[in-house]
Structure 1
């Protein structure tokens, strides 16, 4: 039997309704045309489908569709935001603020920018995983041009107060980028009210397909990005490349479904997470990593002090979980997120992430609790 899937923070299965919409864009009877082919009906219909999807993603963000730039995922969106903004504003300053607990899709581009002569400040979160507005305020300088912080950490689920930090940036005329891959369609995100200039999202954390994402770019005077991919001038010159109609339609459908079901789905996930934590806590052998309440509904990161996380994942063979980000799953090093929060290497290596989603049931949670409890008892014996 397949293990119970509890790794939704890594990726989500495509919702059947999303799959059905995508299938209509693949064969000769569907919308298979190139959206950039404006000389015939096939291209017009494909372009219409792509723009409908853009509108659905924009609506989920309460943004203007013209502010949505298609990308291949959140990683490319992060690269376009960070490199594009830094290179376009380098004459104004070269200081960038971020966090040591960011995803590698942010940390690696920042490392590259550092090699290009930019000065990077990486803030360490508190023991609860939170980067406070005061930390950002204290780090801002006259030459700061960009702040980049994720909305919810992909390993701990801890949420950042992007409204307060965005207000600080807006007052200093500093661009604010947010990686919202883990919160798009789950937490309220209104670009009409939030002081966020650039925001990265993707489809595969939202029951849509892999390989497609978007960067929200606020339409504001002086907000200019240097394109990172050239070859045709697509997406108003910001991102060249033939648009994958089926993936865009899948992304748009997933975004629309998420918004229609967001409140009920997040309430259900919060209840499931509480049920899971109560069961794990009852074993007496775990400790919660990160703030207990300031977190996205579906993610639970726990330490099993004195245990080895890799050994535990083998012992928990009935459930599919992870020790952190999928992008770092091959590494034997302790989680950079947890060590940035102050955990020692041993505790970080004993920590595992459980993440729940749309197709997780109460029965799945109860089985997971049983698997963990039985394995811990067996290992102790």
Structure 2
């Protein structure tokens, strides 16, 4: 996908896991909402119109994951939704999280700390490790909350959530799933997964930045102390005037995903296969992480021994390629990936990892352009190292 801006027409955007470009449907819904104005808590006609926008969007987003409309709470994004979910106020004493979670989950939310659970070489949660941890919590007379990504944001590994749910509920615990990266790439049904709480973020599916949602599977699950208090908005779970335009954009993006998911996912899978086959053939020693297990159809994390991600990113950027070195949630810093470290990847290989992520508007020509640029940059960097040595 090439940018439309005058200075960016020759660039190719392949960093959809960081943020997806705004869908036309979402942009149109936001503009209409901005033109209408009104506060959704007001009782006059303008307020009721604003409330209608919010509730229509809430209904459509809930439908995207098979949830009941009343159980969806809007937040400022995925990180806030995770922080709202990770609270002892839901009735848990101990927080268990996988070692490859998003920083907003690893931070522990409102728990004093989070205990990390191991993953295997492909980034899949160790069910044995989870079982041991749950038994340890039970022996202490405590109740566990487990938080797990549905799909990893760096490697794309899809987690065995159903199996995790069985273990968690057998131990009397609660289960939160961060589905931010999975939405718009694979089908999601909160009831089929069997999770208590689920997080979404609009800007990963082509909606605006700054809006997300926490969804409960059942309204019988209550939060004793919400993260943001002081108003009655969102049924008391999240105070603050609703961001009408962003919510409208979120709802429109969710509606587009519901209609187009099957075709978009198939297209992304075909591009992934094209990309990864060519990567492994283009440069000797190239490694695609997580290739041995089910992954998101749009995510590829690749490394070549002897390369450094920071240097490679600069070179690719100069070639017009927008990609990343894994997660984009560390204020632009490039550091060894905690995900790859948890997977047992050697630091030298991990430091060269580049993430390529596609989306609904990516085309074959975008992948082909990247492959040409990547091979050129990797080959040049390796030659320079050989000369320096």
Instruction: State the TM-score bracket (shorter-chain normalisation).
Output: over 0.9
1:135 to 111, 129, 132: 129
Offset of residue 332 of structure 1? 4.1
Give, in whole Å, the separation in 1 of the partners of 2:289 and 2:217: 34
Give, in whole Å, the separation in 2 of the partners of 1:378 and 1:306: 12
Give, in whole Å, the separation in 1 of the partners of 2:180 and 2:203: 9
Give, in whole Å, the separation in 1 of the partners of 2:224 and 2:184: 26
Asked whether 1:122 is paired with 2:116, we answer: yes
Give, in whole Å, the separation in 1 of the partners of 2:221 and 2:379: 61
Offset of residue 219 of structure 1? 2.0
Alignment of 1:288-307 (within 5 A): 288-307=288-307
Offset of residue 95 of structure 1? 2.0
For 2:247, the equivalent position in structure 1 comes to: 248
Q: Is the CA contact (8 Å cut-off) linking 1:177 and 1:196 kept in structure 2?
A: yes
SS at structure 1 position matched to 2:207: coil
For 1:33, the equivalent position in structure 2 comes to: 38
For 1:185, the equivalent position in structure 2 comes to: 184
Q: Is the CA contact (8 Å cut-off) linking 1:97 and 1:144 kept in structure 2?
A: no
Of stretches 371-380 and 250-259 in structure 1, the one that deviates more from structure 2 is 371-380
Offset of residue 293 of structure 1? 4.1
- Relative to the length of structure 2, the TM-score reads 0.91
Q: Is the CA contact (8 Å cut-off) linking 1:132 and 1:161 kept in structure 2?
A: no
Give, in whole Å, the separation in 2 of the partners of 1:195 and 1:125: 21
SS at structure 2 position matched to 1:214: strand
Q: Is the CA contact (8 Å cut-off) linking 1:200 and 1:216 kept in structure 2?
A: yes
SS at structure 2 position matched to 1:282: helix
Q: Is the CA contact (8 Å cut-off) linking 2:307 and 2:382 kept in structure 1?
A: no
Offset of residue 300 of structure 1? 0.3
SS at structure 2 position matched to 1:109: coil
Deviations 1:133-169 (A, max 9, x none): 3322221031232000011111111110111111222
SS at structure 1 position matched to 2:198: strand
For 2:3, the equivalent position in structure 1 comes to: none
Instruction: Please report the RMSD computed on the Cα atoms of aligned residues, expressed in angstroms.
Output: 1.6
Unaligned runs of 5+ in 1: none
Offset of residue 221 of structure 1? 3.5
Aligned length: 367
Of stretches 222-231 and 179-188 in structure 1, the one that deviates more from structure 2 is 222-231
Give, in whole Å, the separation in 1 of the partners of 2:126 and 2:346: 22
- Relative to the length of structure 1, the TM-score reads 0.92
Give, in whole Å, the separation in 2 of the partners of 1:360 and 1:223: 41
Unaligned runs of 5+ in 2: 1-7, 384-389
For 1:113, the equivalent position in structure 2 comes to: 111
Asked whether 1:16 is paired with 2:24, we answer: yes
Superposed structure 1 runs of 4+ greater than 4 Å apart: none
Offset of residue 100 of structure 1? 1.4
Offset of residue 208 of structure 1? 0.3
For 2:154, the equivalent position in structure 1 comes to: 155
SS at structure 2 position matched to 1:216: strand
Of stretches 173-182 and 326-335 in structure 1, the one that deviates more from structure 2 is 326-335
Give, in whole Å, the separation in 1 of the partners of 2:86 and 2:146: 9
Query: Relative to structure 1, is the Cα distance of residues 368 and 315 closer, same or farther in structure 2, using a 3 angstrom cutoff?
Result: same
Of stretches 309-318 and 252-261 in structure 1, the one that deviates more from structure 2 is 309-318
Deviations 1:100-157 (A, max 9, x none): 11000111135x623xxx5x32012111111033322221031232000011111111
Offset of residue 348 of structure 1? 1.1
